Amino acid sequence: ANMSSANGPKVFVSRRIPEKAKALITSQCNAILWEKDEPPPRDEYLKAIAGIDGLFCLLTDKIDAELLDAAGPNLRVVSTMSVGYDHVDVKECAKRNVAVGYTPGILTKATAELTIALLLAATRRLKEGIRAVENGEWGTWKPMWLCGQGLDGATVGIVGLGRIGYTVAQCLNPFGVAKFLYSGGRRPDAEVELKAEYADLDRLYAESDFVIACCALTPETAGMFNADAFKKMKKTAVFVNSSRGGVVNQDDLCAALQSGEIGAAGLDVTTPEPLPTDSPLLRLSNCVVLPHIGSATHDTREAMAVLAAQNLIAGVKGEKLPSQVE
Ligand code: DGY
């Protein structure tokens, strides 16, 4: 770990981050920087944060009572470089008067874009196609080879029509989607703009050609995509998840893909991450798995890091954070 020379509040940054955000932090804080792409081992993490005023963390870091205690009573802010904060025990933070910062909004477009890339990859069988080209299995042009299901005329079900879910729907609309169904929080604006219909999960599963999980991981959504849910979906349904692996019962998903209970899946998030290479999901031709890269555009990652730095700096000064978890 490196120490910045600046005086000021003591902060810990748990990973190598974009230069602009790092410069912002080191210009105002006495920063301990863990400048690696791998997180600190837990015991080193707990030692390094003793006495800090602010913590810049990532979604891989479990921010629980033990860690907050290790930081000690000076801690005023936990700033995560992510929109998801299921890894942060927000209640324990509140108990200790620790503000929690996150990065909503700025990664919406990038994540929606990747969600659509996954959906198209899964439904148009890109993984099988790429493999066939590379393996020499591409014979001649065949009328019925590698056919999938298009979006034109399709019904798309979105579970969690929040910032990202809404943007996914807006971007899919021009493909000729016939109907959007959604569940979760009510969005009257989507009902006007996209003629989206609010539906209970049973209806959404039964009628959707595509089921897209865009919900946050909470105790209510944990494991909600299970055998029961997949059974209710169409045999041809394409399931896409760009939220958190924890919303899916992965064994059930694997079984549903194997038995043909559903048609295909595209996952940007898994349990655990990284997904072990011997995971049965990876042997399925109808399952596309990506390594949690929804927000991975250069500009987005920089903007996320800068906003997380701004949250951190506001927090150590005792100011309201630009993006605070309420
Ligand atoms: C988040 O921000 O929560 C994503 O998972 C990573 O961008």
Domains of the chain, start order: 2-104+298-316 (3.40.50.720), 108-289 (3.40.50.720)
Centre of ligand 1 to C-alpha 144, Å, is 38
Q: What is the pLDDT of residues 233-284, one digit of tens each?
A: 999 999 999 999 999 999 999 999 999 999 999 999 999 999 999 999 999 9
* Full-model pTM: 0.96
Residue whose C-alpha is closest to residue 101's, from 84, 126, 122: 84
For residue 135, what pLDDT is reported?
A: 98
Catalytic residue among 15, 187, 292, 301: 292
Name the residue type at position 218. Answer: T
ipTM field: 0.98
Instruction: Name the amino acid, one letter, at 300.
Output: T
Exposure of 233 by Cβ count < 10 A (0-12 exposed, 13-18 middle, 19+ buried)?
buried
Q: What is the CA radius of gyration of the chain?
A: 22
- Closest atom of ligand 1 to CA, residue 103: 2
Ramachandran assignment for 94, one of left (phi > 0), alpha (psi -120 to 50 degrees), beta (any other):
alpha
**Tokens (6 digits) for 185:** 């929080």
What is the CA(134)–ligand 1 centre distance, in A? Answer: 32
Task: Based on the residue annotation, tell me whether 298 is a catalytic residue of this protein.
Answer: no
pLDDT at 5 over 90: no
What residue owns the CA closest to ligand 1's atom 7? 295
Most ligand 1 atoms within 8 A of CB, residue of 63, 271, 295 to mutate: 295
**Tokens in use for 40?**
């600190």
Output the 3-class SS for the chain.
CEECCCCCCEEEECCCCCHHHHHHHHHHCEEEECCCCCCCCHHHHHHHCCCCCEEEECCCCCECHHHHHHHCCCCCEEEECCCCCCCECHHHHHHCCCEEECCCCCCHHHHHHHHHHHHHHHHCCHHHHHHHHHHCCCCCCCCCCCCCCCCCCCEEEEECCCHHHHHHHHHHHHHCCCEEEEECCCCHHHHHHCCCEECCHHHHHHHCCEEEECCCCCCCCCCCECHHHHHHCCCCCEEEECCCHHHECHHHHHHHHHHCCCCEEEECCCCCCCCCCCCHHHHCCCEEECCCCCCCCHHHHHHHHHHHHHHHHHHHCCCCCCCECC
Of all protein residues, whose CA lies closest to atom 4 belonging to ligand 1?
Answer: 82
pLDDT at 4: 61
Residue type at position 181: L
Q: Where does the pLDDT of residue 7 fall: very low under 50, low under 70, confident under 90, or very high at 90 and above?
A: confident
Other CB atoms within 10 Å distance of the CB of residue 150? 13
Q: Determine the distance separating the centroid of ligand 1 and the alpha carbon of 93, expressed in angstroms.
A: 20
Say if CB 263 and CB 238 are below 8 A apart: yes
For range 169-179, the mean pLDDT: 98
Residue 133 pLDDT exceeds 60: yes
Q: Please report which confidence band the pLDDT of residue 302 belongs to, taking 50, 70 and 90 as the band edges.
A: very high
Residue among 25, 27, 8 at smallest CA distance from 313 = 25
- Tell me: cis bond preceding 280? Omega within 30 of 0 counts: no
